[in-house]
Amino acid sequence: MTAKQPTKKPEFLRKKLVSLKRKPQMIALLVLAVAFVYYSLNLTKISNTTAKIQGPGMGLSGFVTMLFSILSLVCFLNAFPHRKKTNIPMLILMFLMLGAILFCDLYYGGRITAAVTRAENPIDPTGNNLYISQAQSMLHVHMILVIAGAALTALLPLYAPLIRRINTSVEVAENEDMGTIDIAGEDN
């Protein structure tokens, strides 16, 4: 009889779980990275909306959101160095940047709302200007992702011990006939 080979999929998942147990902060980093990529991929809608509405501070708001998104990821990576304690000043700086990102998203969304609902010459966000309503809904999703990333970072001390409790050990088949093995080496 041949021994049954373990499948690669559970072993792959087990290895990923082991690496997650060692670095549980990767969950929050992944969410923040998804927020950055999502905003970056929709930057054309933001730029076109800024060019169409031309509200005060809209361009600066989009720039600050993009810049602080990148810098907050750098601060996150410096806040959790490998095999060292958490760097608290970098963590505080990261949270300040995330707060600034949320403020800029809210401000930008408010400028869109003001341009669409103003009494004199309102901008219609349909038809050729559909990108304006798409930018506004994109900002809402971006804010949700940033809030989720910040919450996961803040709650890391609570869920990291729970993740470390997950059993990732490999079961080894034991030999039940250990008593029948002659290790004395005596010949009769």
pTM: 0.80
- Burial state string for 24-44 with b = 16 or more CB within 10 A and e = fewer than 16: bbebbbebbbebbeebeebee
Give rounded-to-5 percent helix, strand, coil for the chain: 70, 0, 30
Angle at 53 between CA 48 and CA 59, to 5 degrees: 65
pLDDT of residue 108: 96
In tens digits, the chain (188 residues) has pLDDT values of 455 555 566 777 777 777 777 888 999 999 999 999 999 999 999 999 999 998 899 999 999 999 999 999 999 999 998 888 999 999 999 999 999 999 999 999 999 999 999 888 888 888 888 999 999 999 999 999 999 999 999 999 998 888 778 777 766 666 555 555 556 666 65
Q: Where are the beta strands (DSSP E) in the chain?
A: none
The pair of structure tokens assigned to 12 is: 């792959």
Domain range list for the chain: 21-156
| Residue that is written with structure tokens 């031309």 in the block | 54
